[in-house]
Chain A
């Protein structure tokens, strides 16, 4: 196990180096840079002023030098400065991460809270009216675009309650925060819960056809014991994999939700930074997201061992 952890850690480091090169290269391949955008906002381009700005920001340095400057700064804990606000990139990124993290955790919580039990209920009531209803609901969850669902929610609130559940000021306390984030989290969690529900259902159906389930039933075990004790614990492995993937996917999936509900999280910030070609923000953020993704996947793999004693890593 120890050697596996060391191997995976090294692999994670290599993956992150790869991500850094890819994101750095891709950003430079995209046409236009911050100087183009700033001048575009001013409605003209002055080649001399533009060149001076590129010099000032280090954009006229050779690409390998720019890459090295970034990595060297990163190793020293210096993330550089945002090209747009001219403030330290760390100060711009750090306050936004907890906002998106809270929203993502809440969304994930909602999706598991609803997806897992409903998946089990749907499986144990296969082909019943309840099963059909739940399947239709889950299908709609998968097919409704999240921006549309989010806008419908906002319009509903304005129409019926004369208020709008969007972020305008930072919440004062934990309760306000929970209230503020729960509606967007539910909007984005709806899709994930639908996915988890469908996967739980199919996984449960597969497990429930196994001999040991039949044996448990023959021995007189109760339905709850069979369904939740024997079947679910074996059916949950692929669901855990999906939850891990969804956790990483949520960062991307939250872009639309953060935009519609006006939440100043890191997902929307990343998209804005890409539009502005704010390289220090994009590079550091994508690397951070990459880090979260590889660590989450690693933790999921480790979780397999806890959930299934048959799995052992050499």
Chain B
């Protein structure tokens, strides 16, 4: 090699090396974030909201987690956490975890397999201690028991094979709780094994977490802590972020219209826009006439102009889809050719004509219009789409009247079936059919608001859950999703995007593109000094 070439090569290496060294993780500093309101409690197992999972996830570990540096939540991206490895038995109904040794709870007590057993006993209502609320009971329909084989090995015994059990365990909603701490203490002063220790929650003011110096993962976390300022007013908190008072926004707090403002006024901010895996959907009381008539329900689903919803509400940043998050972000959503067969996803003029015919068949028409109350929570994110819905229903002889319901009464009203038509939002914790189907469509599930129960589909839910071949499973999932849409179980209107932003000095954060409930361990995040 000639000296010139050699030198040139060295220069290239040196140039490439600079960013590598510059990007080396730096320890220290406290991440400053804002929170949108008081979390209902610090106990992740009792809540179903970002308000709890986002700040408190860093207190805990799971058995397994989604790789924080990959942007997709899927079974392939699951890595060990408190478990060092896992294995299925030959029947695929016993899932055994080898557990990490030497891990301590934040109060100094050792973590053992008993804690794993206790956690799932608590979730299944088998333990003496009881949760006040158990929103994800339906996730464990197939879990028969968990046994502590010895101090560092636990086995989950399933009723039938369920590969997706690992995805449920990797969710931010599935931390391992300590046996020796009561559910009440977990709500107010949670103890975990995670990278950060809970310090205090001051209502309406702040939440503080400090680094767990005894964390089992070498070199983590990088941060000394993370401090949250609770700011109820969205205008104030976004202005606070723009004024660089905070390093990180709350999850998905920056709506698409707001994102333009943030980009304009704080151009260096790094904003991750991605699907929230929250969908707008219609709930129809199928027990209440005339909605006990399948034609009326189908007419409503067929008449929906989903593009208009997406354009008006999300400035085009949304996707049409079924129950599962649509591709390319979603792993399980129906492709366009399958989706097109569902009610209301074809040519709009043709669909409206079809819907009008269905309404006429049910006895309604221009001279005999159906008056109906469209109930929804009295919050802008619910109310606005309800108003658009009312407008669209006019074209099929339905005169809707908005019935705004105070938040505290919304679920009670829905549970009583004291509504005809409702506008609803559904957040999905993990992009997997085992979560979506069993939580929202299975017979008897607490979060199946419409009480939809189709025994044939229930069988298919269980069948897809047990399938080992994930490609074959996907095809069955599409089939089920298409049937759910045709059956008007809970007609989907749109899945929508939102942004989470942070200061440029925040490094190591990867936003998942198919879920936003499991990103918040903060152990890989560091601040560039």
Instruction: Please measure, in the bound complex, the distance between the C-alpha atom of A46 and the C-alpha atom of B187, giving whole angstroms.
Output: 19
Interface string of B156-196 (1 = CB under 8 A from A): 00000000000000000000000000001001100000000
**In which size bucket is the chain B interface?**
35 or more
A24 within 8 A of B: no
A245 interface contact, C-beta 8 A: no
Select from chain B the residue with minimum beta-carbon distance to A161: B243
Of the residues B134, B236, B265, contact of A46 by C-beta under 8 Å: B134
**CB under 8 Å from chain A, chain B span 76-118:** none
**Whole-angstrom distance between the alpha carbons of A38 and B43 in the complex?**
12
Q: Are A85 and B235 in contact (CB under 8 A)?
A: no
In A53-68, the 8 Å CB interface with B consists of 53, 56
Q: Which of A242-283 contact B (CB under 8 A)?
A: 259-262, 264, 268-269, 272, 275, 277
Is B242 a contact partner of A46 (Cβ separation < 8 A)?
no
Chain B: CB-nearest residue to A266 = B204
Residues in B neighbouring A42, C-beta threshold 8 A = 40, 46-49, 133, 135
Q: Distance (Å) between the CB of B259 and the closest chain A CB?
A: 17
Q: Which chain B residues lie closer than 8 Å to A36 at the CB level?
A: 408-409, 411-412
One digit per residue, 1 when the CB lies within 8 angstroms of any chain B CB and 0 when it does not, for chain A 30-49 equals 01110011111111111101
A262 CA / B237 CA spacing, docked (Å) = 9
- Complex: A233 Cα to B79 Cα, angstroms: 79
Q: A44-B447, A272-B204 are in contact. Are A32 and B409 (CB under 8 A)?
A: yes
- Cα distance A272–B411 in the bound complex, in angstroms: 19
**Which of B49, B204, B242, B427 has the most C-beta atoms of chain A within 10 angstroms of its own C-beta?**
B204
| Structural contact, B245 and A168, CB atoms closer than 8 A | yes
Give the contacts of B31-53 with A (CB-CB under 8 A): 32, 38, 40-41, 46-49, 51
Q: When A155-B239, A157-B243, A163-B243 are in contact, do A264 and B202 touch as well, CB less than 8 Å?
A: yes
Interface code B230-243, partner A: CB below 8 Å = 1, 0 otherwise? 11110111011011
**Chain B nearest CB: distance from A119 CB in Å?**
33
Q: Is B402 an interface residue (CB 8 A)?
A: no
- Judging by beta carbons under 8 Å apart, are B239 and A31 in contact? no
Kindly state whether residue A134 has any CB partner on chain B within 8 Å. Answer: no
Interface assignment of B446: CB less than 8 Å from any CB of chain A: yes
Give the residues in chain B near A92, CB-CB below 8 Å.
203
Question: Does B205 make an interface contact (CB < 8 A)?
Answer: yes
Chain A residues with Cβ under 8 A from B135's Cβ? Answer: 42-44
Instruction: Name the B residues within 8 Å of A164 (CB-CB).
Output: 236, 239-240, 243, 245
Q: Are A40 and B408 in contact (CB under 8 A)?
A: yes
1/0 per residue, CB under 8 A from A, across B397-428: the answer is 00000000011111110010000000000010
Contact partner of B38 among A46, A84, A151, CB < 8 A? A84
The answer to whether B242 touches A158, judged by C-beta atoms less than 8 angstroms apart, is yes
CB pair A43 B447 closer than 8 Å: yes
Q: Is the CB of A31 within 8 A of B245?
A: no
A96 vs B204: C-alpha distance in the bound complex, in angstroms? 10
Is B475 part of the contact surface with A, judged by Cβ < 8 Å?
no
A40, A157, A261 — which one has the most chain B CB atoms within 10 A of its CB?
Answer: A40
Cβ contact within 8 Å between A87 and B188: yes
Q: List residues of chain B with CB within 8 A of the CB of A167.
A: 205
Partner of A38, one of B40, B229, B230: B40
Q: Using Cβ atoms and an 8 Å threshold, which residues of chain A touch B46? A: 42
A269 touches B204 (CB 8 A): yes
Are A40 and B204 also in contact (CB < 8 A) when A164-B243, A260-B236 are? no
> Which residues of A are found within 8 Å of B187, using beta-carbon distances?
86
Q: Is A154 an interface residue, CB under 8 A from the partner?
A: yes
**Interface flag for B370 (CB, 8 Å):** no
* CB of A81 to closest CB in B, whole Å: 11
A157 to B40, CA, bound (A): 32
Closest to B243 in A: A164
Q: Which residues of A contact B51 (CB under 8 A)?
A: 41
Does any Cβ of A come within 8 Å of B244's Cβ? yes
Chain B residue at smallest Cβ distance from A165? B243
Q: Indicate if B201 sits at the interface (CB-CB under 8 A).
A: yes
Chain A: which residue is nearest B202 at the CB level? Answer: A264
Q: Which residues from chain A contact B202 at a C-beta distance below 8 Å?
A: 264
- Find out whether the CB atom of A268 lies under 8 angstroms from the CB atom of B201: no
Contact A32 B412, beta carbon cutoff 8 Å = yes
Question: Does B132 lie at the interface of the complex (its beta carbon under 8 Å from any beta carbon of A)?
Answer: yes
Q: How far is B244's CA from A37's CA once the two chains are assembled, in angstroms?
A: 34
- The answer to whether B233 touches A46 (Cβ under 8 A) is no
Q: Please tell me which one of the listed residues A39, A84, A158, A268 contacts residue B232 in the complex, with CB atoms under 8 A apart.
A: A268
Query: Chain A residues near B134 (CB, 8 Å)?
Result: 46, 49
Complex CA distance for A84 and B202, rounded to whole angstroms: 12
- Chain A residues with CB under 8 A of B265: 158
Q: Distance (Å) between the CB of A127 and the closest chain B CB?
A: 41
Minimal Cβ-Cβ distance residue in A for B408: A32
CB atoms of A31 and B408 under 8 A apart = yes
A71 in the interface, Cβ–Cβ < 8 Å?
no
B408 in contact with A277 (CB, 8 Å) = yes
* Chain B residues, Cβ within 8 Å of A46: 133-134, 446
Alpha-carbon distance between A26 and B412 when the two chains are bound, in angstroms: 20
26 pairs, CB–CB < 8 Å, chain A vs chain B? A31-B408, A36-B412, A37-B40, A37-B407, A39-B133, A40-B407, A40-B410, A41-B47, A42-B133, A43-B411, A44-B48, A44-B411, A52-B130, A82-B203, A84-B41, A85-B188, A85-B201, A157-B243, A164-B236, A166-B231, A166-B236, A166-B240, A259-B233, A259-B236, A262-B236, A264-B204
A-B contacts besides A52-B132, A262-B233, 7 pairs, CB < 8 Å: A32-B406, A37-B408, A40-B407, A40-B411, A49-B134, A53-B133, A154-B235
Interface, chain B (partner A; CB < 8 A): 32, 38, 40-41, 46-49, 51, 130, 132-135, 184, 187-188, 201-206, 229-233, 235-237, 239-240, 242-245, 265, 406-412, 415, 427, 446-447
Q: Which 6 A-B pairs have the closest CB atoms?
A: A32-B408, A264-B205, A164-B243, A44-B446, A42-B135, A41-B40
